[in-house]
A and B are shown apart, each in its own frame.
Chain A
Amino acid sequence: MKQINHVVEMKNISKSFPGIKANDQISFKVKKSEIHALLGENGAGKSTLMNILFGLYQPDEGAIFINEQEVEIENPNIANDLGIGMVHQHFMLVQNFTVTENIILGSEPKKAVSMIDYAKARNFVVELSNKYGLHVNPDAKIEDISVGMQQRVEILKTLYRGADILIFDEPTAVLTPQEIDELAGIMRNLVEEGKSIILITHKLKEIMAICDSVTIIRRGKVIDSLVVEDTNPDELAAKMVGREVTFSVDKIPAKPGEPILIVDKVFAKDARGLNALSGISIEVKSGEILGIAGVDGNGQSQLIEAITGLKHVDSGQIILSGKEITNLSPRVISEAGLSHIPEDRHKRGLVLDFTVGENMVLETYFYPEFSTNGLLDIKKINQYAEKLVEEFDVRTPNVQTLGRALSGGNQQKAIIAREVNKDPDLLIAAQPTRGLDVGAIEFIHRRLIEQRDKGKAVLLLSLELDEILNVADRIAVIYEGKIVGIVDAKSTNEQELGLMMAGAGEKGVEAANE
């Protein structure tokens, strides 16, 4: 048998969409049993290239070789037959089906007379799961398992269909640090069993930790292909962005002043009626950034909803700039001097079917400068939006473009422009850089620190410890709806925070609950 060197080879692939050349003569090769990263900023053309490989798009020119045979991948079914599987960023699972049912969906093993052979399916799933160290409960319902587990189900789905080449599309965007480590282990197992993996990402740390080689794409073109051992994060970042990037955030020491936000022993329930906040207390002063660290689902979202008026507070007190705002309406709170960059920009942050201009005045459309006698002044709204778009470098053809048409990073920039420009006393930023590339993250961090230096209070919530450590001045750790510790960002580290996030550390609890 002939030894196969490259399982995937894409040669001179070009693909244009109206107004943009997404892929321009891209060539790259994936060796057998390697983890190959595809690195690039949002909109660089990584996803387009992979969608071509998976048969969702047809290239305008170029050729694809799988196992050194030229192929035409006209649709995803052909990709499946060729052993290519895709683990999507947004999971495609049926919530109230079990793990096994989801995995076999669409290619169910049959008994006679087209009855589904569940026993066989279940055994097969267990077998696969054990072989690759996935440890998935085949009988659990999707709605009951964690995001990390759901991702494993997606992986199993591709393996069940016989995939040898797995494409992972930004797999860590939704995972906690621990889950990311586990995923890395799983990927290693897969490679050892002879699979090949293409990892689409813009996170340099992951590439350095997991991958064997990396191809960097910028503006639709291949910039370089490197072996990971021979490179370093600085080089990768520079190649990806096209200029030198600084990782550590430069900032002068904070000059905290008066407390702007005081949250005092607040209790609130989650959607299931359980206590999501159990007597939480925090204080954010002017001129400082307070970071909230914690494993996802420990009450972070509810804390922010309670402060911003989106969630009912059962007991306790919230004070903003000396004024009690507990259980007031979102508008009253917003007008009292609060801006909020929400954690889910599609759900809360933007009306995707509104224009950029309309989104820019989503909270201020009723101000006299934008509407008189109940009529909107669309010209003034658009002028205002144009000013913000320019100032915050939101890349959009014009302000009449729908929010939906913007890339994730530019959507986030638009939200930040809107919120920062309200000139609030308190700025709440919830996962402000989720899913964004290095360039955009740098921009957003600079803006947050700029607000702090202007004497604003900033409350930063993030699941990325690096972000909290870099940007925040003080860090409060949340665990089961309570603050379990407050530490100085300069004198702590990931280990200490990690312990507290797991509920172990008790440092500073007295201070928080005084």
Chain B
Amino acid sequence: MNKVLKFFTKESSLVPILAIIMGLLFGALVMLIGGYNPLLAYYSLFKKVFGDLYNFGETIRQITPLIFTGLSVAFAFRTGLFNIGAAGQFVMGSLGAVIIGTQLSLPAYIHAPLAIIVGGLFGALWGAISGYLKAKRGVHEVITTIMLNWIALYLSNYVIYNYLRAKGQQRTEFIKDTASISFDWLSELFGFARLHSGTILAIIAALAFYLILWKTKQGFELRAVGFNPHASEYAGMNVSKNIIKAMFIGGLFAGLGGAVEVLGVFKYQVISAALPNAGFDGIAVALIGANTPLGVIFGSILFGVLTYGAAGMKLGAGVPIEVIRVVIASVIFFVAASGIVKYILALFQRKKKEVL
């Protein structure tokens, strides 16, 4: 218990927590200006999320892909790379999973895992393209990942339209039951909320993130390259290879996210006009989570709760959904501008000292 308390009062955890509170307060201010009741709004938000089992389950469903894309962005960042391409890698992951899920007939114990693995690899290779272009051709990864996002989207649409489309629909056939990763008994318990084993995989992925970076030889190299490529080169590490590997692993996380979303939630892939939100939200999640695996999980929970609860806010307090984006944006703002938060923290601490 003491340890838990220590964890939350450490400055490194205190700053994001305070940033979240300040973000919520700023959101409240915006609502007041708009003539809404912020207390009622936040009450409705949390009531929507925690009010009944179905919505609680759906919130978990909302959180899961964010963990994957958050890990994707954070992992690349640890190696000094900006992965703006989690969205595209996510789409490729979905595509890979839906191909295996719809086209093959296999026993369940191999079908679902294979679909997940193929989805993950699709995302990983998609990320590795940017890594290759950066390492061997010197093209900045921000440019290539953004461009590859759109290429992924339209490639996926093309493949679905021409090869996988269900008759008369703008989507693929349903995946075979053997490829599904839904938790049927748990879903039933949660009022048929779309719970699936991808959530467990997300937690495992966060653990793997930690183990790879801090416990393995490979992680040692990745972190060294991220902190100081010159010293890494001097020490005999292959900087280019590590850049490609980092984007591969980052893409793998996002690809797995896309795969479990298809296999656990929708069971099909649609021809889409826009990139999935989870991709870009992953950047914010990684930022809030300070690029640590545990931070990414907490960041995803925050993001998931706020976005899912937004519907409740609209219903309960008449607050438009855009306002919740203001709240999220101000949380990100205060996390990014942690100097402001630290300053306020210091003010409080000084006051406390004076009182004592």
CB contact between A351 and one of B215, B217, B218, B227 (< 8 Å): that residue:
B227
Binding site for B on A (CB under 8 A): 308, 310, 329-332, 334-335, 340, 342, 347-354, 358, 362-363, 365-366, 371, 374-376, 378
Cβ distance A378 to chain B, nearest Cβ, rounded Å: 8
B236/A363 in contact, CB under 8 A: yes
A358/B233 in contact, CB under 8 A: no
Say whether, besides A352-B227, A352-B228, A354-B227, A376 and B234 are in contact (CB < 8 Å): no
A354/B230 in contact, CB under 8 A: no
Binding site for A on B (CB under 8 A): 215-220, 223-224, 227-228, 230-238
B233/A351 in contact, CB under 8 A: no
Residues in B with CB closer than 8 Å to A340 are 234
A-B pairs with the 8 shortest C-beta distances?
A331-B236, A348-B234, A362-B235, A353-B227, A330-B236, A371-B217, A363-B235, A351-B228
Say whether, besides A371-B217, A374-B216, A375-B217, A354 and B235 are in contact (CB < 8 Å): no
| Bound: A389/B235 CA distance, A | 19
**In the complex, which residue of chain B has the Cβ closest to the Cβ of A331?**
B236
CB contact between B234 and one of A330, A358, A375 (< 8 Å): that residue:
A330
| Bound: A347/B234 CA distance, A | 9
Q: List 26 A-B contacts (CB under 8 A).
A: A310-B234, A329-B236, A329-B238, A330-B234, A330-B235, A330-B236, A331-B237, A332-B236, A347-B228, A349-B231, A349-B234, A350-B228, A350-B231, A351-B231, A351-B232, A352-B228, A353-B227, A354-B223, A358-B220, A362-B224, A362-B235, A363-B236, A365-B217, A366-B217, A374-B216, A375-B216
**In the complex, which residue of chain A has the Cβ closest to the Cβ of B220?**
A365
B231/A347 in contact, CB under 8 A: yes
Residues in B with CB closer than 8 Å to A347 are 228, 230-231
Residues in A with CB closer than 8 Å to B219 are 376
| Bound: A335/B238 CA distance, A | 15
| Bound: A156/B188 CA distance, A | 77
| Bound: A56/B233 CA distance, A | 36
B234/A374 in contact, CB under 8 A: no
Cβ distance A229 to chain B, nearest Cβ, rounded Å: 46
**In the complex, which residue of chain B has the Cβ closest to the Cβ of A372?**
B217
Known: A352-B228, A354-B227, A358-B224. 17 other contacts (CB 8 A): A330-B234, A330-B235, A334-B236, A347-B230, A348-B230, A348-B231, A350-B228, A351-B228, A353-B227, A354-B223, A354-B224, A362-B231, A365-B220, A371-B216, A371-B217, A374-B216, A378-B215
| Bound: A335/B216 CA distance, A | 21
Residues in B with CB closer than 8 Å to A351 are 224, 227-228, 231-232
Residues in A with CB closer than 8 Å to B232 are 351
A374/B217 in contact, CB under 8 A: yes
**In the complex, which residue of chain A has the Cβ closest to the Cβ of B232?**
A351
Residues in A with CB closer than 8 Å to B227 are 351-354
Residues in B with CB closer than 8 Å to A354 are 223-224, 227
Cβ distance A361 to chain B, nearest Cβ, rounded Å: 8
| Bound: A310/B237 CA distance, A | 11
Residues in B with CB closer than 8 Å to A350 are 228, 231
Residues in B with CB closer than 8 Å to A310 are 233-234
Cβ distance B210 to chain A, nearest Cβ, rounded Å: 13
B218/A374 in contact, CB under 8 A: yes
| Bound: A98/B238 CA distance, A | 39
| Bound: A174/B232 CA distance, A | 25
Cβ distance A224 to chain B, nearest Cβ, rounded Å: 38
B233/A330 in contact, CB under 8 A: yes
| Bound: A186/B223 CA distance, A | 46
**In the complex, which residue of chain B has the Cβ closest to the Cβ of A340?**
B234
| Bound: A371/B237 CA distance, A | 16
Residues in A with CB closer than 8 Å to B231 are 347-351, 362
Residues in B with CB closer than 8 Å to A374 are 216-218
| Bound: A308/B236 CA distance, A | 10
Residues in B with CB closer than 8 Å to A334 are 236
A376/B220 in contact, CB under 8 A: yes
Residues in A with CB closer than 8 Å to B223 are 354
Residues in A with CB closer than 8 Å to B215 are 375-376, 378
The listed residue with most A CB atoms (<10 A of its CB), out of B220, B227, B232, is: B220
Cβ distance A16 to chain B, nearest Cβ, rounded Å: 16
**In the complex, which residue of chain A has the Cβ closest to the Cβ of B224?**
A351
Cβ distance B212 to chain A, nearest Cβ, rounded Å: 10
Residues in B with CB closer than 8 Å to A352 are 227-228
| Bound: A335/B235 CA distance, A | 11
**In the complex, which residue of chain B has the Cβ closest to the Cβ of A333?**
B236
The listed residue with most A CB atoms (<10 A of its CB), out of B234, B236, B238, is: B234
